Structure 1
């Protein structure tokens, strides 16, 4: 059962992301069947998100590189939980997720997804 405080936090995060964010998408590639083969299938999930550049003091060149973006993705209405390997379309570019923090404090309610995106090659 969801804790009411986290449901309220989720609603607040949704409201702020909707106000200051933009429409984007999370793309997930499903590999082909290991027995029958085929082509990988890319599924696009629409999302509301806020991409922000990391402050210079956090860029260390190894974990966080120049050009990496911190992307806040609203959990409301998103059918998946963004993970490493997914690609986020924002600001007219595609960012591969290299790290993520689901912010699921009670283990049930996703308040907001915060991911580190790196320009997809």
Structure 2
């Protein structure tokens, strides 16, 4: 039996695929604190949709006018986006400064919504 969250995930996937774009998410793992060495970088392909925040949410402190609310399809994405990741959309890199997994039942990630701030 398919639960409601699986159906919501499928609906979110269809909407993002229809209006969104191919993009990428990069996770940078720091070097081992004991043995040192190089950090590693892993790239994940994603289907995503960057949106401008509604003016009423922009306060100049936690949300800036250049921040984007990025909807990322959870289907096929190998990781859960987290603060510190970098999302690339339309040739622009955004640092994830806030992430919401939208996982209501503790099992199914319906959609990922992140707050992205332009990398400088």
Pairwise same-fold verdict (TM > 0.5): yes
What is the number of equivalent residue pairs in this alignment?
A: 120
- Quote the Cα distance in structure 1 between the aligned partners of 2:21 and 2:77: 14
User: What is the TM-score when the length of structure 2 is the normalising length?
Assistant: 0.96
Three-state SS of the structure 2 residue aligned to 1:83 is: coil
8 Å CA contact 1:94, 1:120 repeated in 2:
yes
Name structure 2 gaps, 5 residues minimum: none
Three-state SS of the structure 1 residue aligned to 2:16 is: helix
Name structure 1 gaps, 5 residues minimum: none
Deviations 1:16-67 (A, max 9, x none): 1011100001100011122221111110000000001112221100111110
- Quote the Cα distance in structure 2 between the aligned partners of 1:58 and 1:15: 27
Corresponding position of 2:27: 28
Corresponding position of 1:110: 109
Establish whether residue 119 from structure 1 lines up as the match of residue 118 from structure 2: yes
Corresponding position of 2:54: 55
* Bigger mean CA offset, 34-43 vs 79-88: 34-43
- Quote the Cα distance in structure 2 between the aligned partners of 1:57 and 1:91: 25
Corresponding position of 2:86: 87
How far 1:3 moved relative to its partner?
Answer: 6.6
Three-state SS of the structure 1 residue aligned to 2:41 is: strand
